[in-house]
Structure 1
Amino acid sequence: MKPQKNTPSSRKLSVAVATAMLVLLALAVVSLYDFNFADSYRYILRASISPSSAPSSTSTVPDTTSSPSTVPDNSSSSSASPTNYSSSASLATTVPVEACDLTRGQWVPDDEAPYYTNLTCPFIDDLQNCMKFGKPSLEFMRWRWQPDGCDLPRFDAARFLEAMRGKSMAFVGDSLARNHLKSLLCILSQVAQPVEVLTTAEIDVTGRAVRRDFHYGSHGFNVSLFWSPFLVKANLSNAEPGLGLWDMHLDTPDARWAAHISDFDYIVLSGTNWFFRPSVYREGGRVVGRNGGAAHDAATEMPVSGAVRAAFRTALGAIAAREGFHGKALVRTVTPAHFENGEWNTGGDCVRERPFRRGERDRDAVVAEFRAAQVDALRDTAATSKRKGAELRLLDITEAMELRPDGHPSRYGHPPGGSVEGSFVVDCLHWCLPGPIDLWSELLFQMLAAHQ
């Protein structure tokens, strides 16, 4: 039998089959390479996500016309089942950042180096310089915040400074406001370092400077820190600082910062811990209440959370009503202390070396009350602020920070035998730098600069 000749149609069929087989083989090789590459570099997805998206509905203060469900409800973290620590969550990202609640999540292991160290940043106060004073474990720097269903991009210092060109920002509050400011300055020090503008400083009755200013000349960006632990007008009614009796005027903003509202594009308000100090509350000059630590014949006891709500409402109302302010005001929610086996003055300490798993520990009732008071104050003033051209937002860090008992200085914010803030010997309130507090600046970046 003679061999059959190949027809043009049979040759075309053979070429098509061969081509298809080669394509399938190439796809298999590429898939195997991608699988191995992703397995070797677990954090590639985190690094590759563009930081150009910003959270919207979850970080914006809910409109008063919206239902209460629009407010992120973090009143208890115990409803979620405990989650094992895993870095693989970063490879399961399916939700874009702008559609994700960045405030709900867990802490997962992270191999990336911190943004800075105590050798690269000159702004770290000794009180939070845990590396300098020999904190035994530095594991607290090896975790990152993993929101549910998406990734939180790294802080882009160059992009933040560019977005802030020609603008100004004020941090108003207590020593945790200063803690936050120093975190931001340290992260930005990767790109530029500011000059502190030295003036004749006004000293508060507690011995602290009322105002400090930092200027980034290359970007025309100014950052200011105002010491105002109650946000409203408050005076010591006796000569003893520290835990002396305070007169707190709940309906009068502290003029030391409120007089400068229109000078700023962004204002970050914070402060809750000082409200525990013995205080008498006044409105319209009249005594309307006191807290449990204050004795006053004409005053009935008032919940401390009620004073927090009133003070934040007054502060936010002053911002909303100020002519010429068309920027953003952010309320940083309460951050918990982690004293265990005693309080700050009764032998308590914080010696844990790992974060809590979500659901491992119930939210402290006082922390829940304080956060609810802050959210209520924002809701009460949000409508007014929109009419005036200002925008109010919630920088909600409470849930994330509740899980970080390992991130405090403990007794490593001072030389052996020294003290921290006043009579603090063990500090389970402030945060090590670098440390989990750098999350506050990462969230701040997303809220203010990532979308610009």
Structure 2
Amino acid sequence: MTLHPINEGKTQLLTRRKTSSKIAHLVAVALIITIVPIYYPYIHYLLDKATAIPSSTDDLNVETTTTLSRHHPLYRSHLFPTTQKEENDLKLVIVPPVKKEHRKRGRRKRERREVVLKPTGGGSGGNKSCDLFSGEWVENPEGPYYTNLTCWAIQEHQNCMKFGRPDQDFLKWRWKPNDCELPVLDPVHFLEMMRGKSLAFVGDSVARNHMQSLLCLLSRVTYPNDVSTSSDQNFRRWEYPDYNFNISIFWSPYLVNTDRTDRNDITKPFKLYLDEFDESWTTQIQDFNYVIISAGQWFFRPTMFYSNRLVIGCLYCPESTIRHRSSTFSYRRAWRTAFKAINSLTNFKGTVFLRSFVPSHFEGGRWDKGGDCVRTKPFKGNESVMEDYSLEMYKTQLQEYKIAEREGRRNGVKITIMDMTQVMHLRPDGHPSKYGHWPLQNVTMANDCVHWCLPGPIDAWNDFLMELIKREEIGR
């Protein structure tokens, strides 16, 4: 039977429509199979694994993609709520597809892309298997590992035992990460690991406090030679000749070029040239293997802010015609300039550790209004939440660090973090308080809740330092 040409055309059209409908359904199914695996891990991670640090209130336009894991010690659901904006700030990394053989049919399965959410904050040195900075302080009956009588490097205002601190329980703690152990510094192992190398500390008196702790811990094995070329206590150099290892300190409490408004009065405002390098350290660290840089507490002092040699603001200044700005304003600019100096180094092959902001622990008043730190035990992780200015300083620092760390990777400069902020927030018991001097009759002196007793909690900073250097050496 022969169809009429018109009927034959209708039959072919119906056949094509049926075929097109089947193809459309197959395409729709294929799209669903492809798209759902891409986005499901992202949605699941957002709901279960991470939240973003809120953007700083600073008026500078910076990238704020620093994130915290839900298991990070600073994560608090009421402090860092997950919002749509914060979810949008989280970065996605497309992992290359992995091709698998389909054994039954002898052909390759459809390639799948998996989206993995990588938090950009925190860090744990070269080995990412354990976050050293999430944990608790646990009892350690073996501490301390030196005394104020066996170490020559302790300054008077840190010599709490000499000046009569009655309790010693604060010496009996060590840091325990949640998922691994942090070994106590072995001085022989440390010196062997640092054989032929050099280490520099850059920063303020708390940076010097850290360096003195390391000198004390190493004094159990050997004493260094003082090979300083200056009599200034803020610029010193020690050498361990048996190990060809040296340690230096460079004083720079503001990290940038600084001047005084009154040469004879340290209480008067400082001039901060926020866009200028402090060459007292930026020209000196080129050949060091490791540099630990830190700063913080000086940024709460009266200061005048300059950019291009013009006044752009001040902190605690009496002038009403100058714009009054916050501490985080100068802190952000100073770190940005410091990191710019580091990343501009040519042929620098070392590693820079940013030791993060460490809060003070004044209670019952400000430092100059009778505030004190009289606690004798660490906080548990759920007993205290860091907030107010300490949190703002920490967030500001982290944001600038992440920008600098990415720039450093492009330039071949290694910058990593020694995240001591939450670790030391939990140690209100470790400060000298009134035990940094003998009491003076009819004289009232401010309590010291900024520096740390030696021996004391910051001896653990060198446990972290040794572990981080180990990881760097393994990475190399």
Short-chain TM bin: 0.7 to 0.9
Pair 139,127 (structure 1): closer, same or farther in 2 beyond 3 Å: same
Structure 1's 444 and 77: CA in aligned 2 closer, same or farther, altered over 3 A?
farther
Contact (CA 8 Å) 1:270, 1:332: kept in 2 or not? yes
Alignment of 1:101 onto 2:131: yes
CA 1:66–1:277: 2 relative to 1, 3 Å: closer
Is 1:381 paired with 2:379?
no
Output the TM-score relative to the length of structure 2. 0.72
Question: Tell me, what secondary structure is at the counterpart of 1:281?
Answer: strand
Give, in angstroms, the shift of residue 74 of structure 1. Answer: 5.1
* Map of 1:111 onto structure 2: 141
Work out whether residues 287 and 350 of structure 2, in 8 Å CA contact, stay in contact via their aligned partners in 1.
no
Say whether residues 1:426 and 2:447 are aligned partners: yes
What is aligned with 1:37?
Answer: none
Match of 2:361 among 338, 341, 351: 338
Q: Which residue of the partner structure matches residue 448 of structure 1? A: 469
Q: Are residues 1:142 and 2:172 paired?
A: yes
Hey, what does 2:241 align to over in structure 1?
A: 217
Residue identity in the other structure for 2:139? P
Amino acid aligned to 1:336: P
Shift of 1:310: 1.2
Alignment CA distance shift 1:308-1:436 (3 Å):
same
Give the Cα separation in 1 of the matches to 2:400 and 2:322. Answer: 24
- 8 A Cα contact 1:173 1:230, kept in partner: yes
Kindly indicate whether structure 1 or structure 2 has the higher relative contact order, using CA contacts under 8 Å at least 6 residues apart.
Answer: 1
Once the two structures are superposed, the pairs formed by residues 44-83 of structure 1 within 5 Å of their partners are 68-69=66-67, 75=74
Deviation at 1:424, TM superposition (A): 5.1
Compare CA radii of gyration and give the structure with the larger one. 2
Q: Which amino acid letter does the alignment assign opposite residue 319 of structure 1?
A: I
Report if aligned partners of 1:173, 1:228 keep a CA contact under 8 Å in 2: yes
- State the partner residue of 1:120: 150
1:170 aligned residue: 200
Describe how 1:307-322 pairs up with structure 2 within 5 A: 307-322=330-345
- Is there any run of 5+ residues in structure 2 with no aligned partner, and where? 1-61, 80-126
CA distance in 1, matches of 2:381, 2:236: 37
Deviation at 1:418, TM superposition (A): 8.9
Tell me which amino acid in the other structure corresponds to 1:102. Answer: L
2:72 and 2:276 map into 1 onto residues whose CA distance is: 29
Q: Equivalent residues in 2 for 1:46-445 (5 A)?
A: 68-69=66-67, 75=74, 99-202=129-232, 209-291=233-315, 293-296=316-319, 298-417=321-440, 425-445=446-466
Question: 2:433, 2:449 within 8 Å by CA — same for their partners in 1?
Answer: yes
- Gapped runs of 5+ residues in structure 1? 1-63, 81-96, 203-208
Quick check: 1:108–1:143 contact (8 Å CA) kept in 2? yes
User: Which amino acid is 1:311 matched to?
Assistant: A
Is the CA contact 1:164–1:221 (under 8 Å) kept in the aligned structure 2?
A: yes
In structure 2, what is the Cα distance between the partners aligned to 1:67 and 1:295? 36
Cα RMSD over matched residues? 2.6
Equivalent-residue separation in structure 2 for 1:171 and 1:248 (angstroms): 21
User: Aligned-pair distance for 1:189?
Assistant: 1.4
**Contact residue 236 and residue 250 of structure 2 kept, 8 A:** yes
1:77 and 1:359 in contact (8 A); partners too: no
Shift of 1:79: 6.7
SS in 2 for 1:150: coil
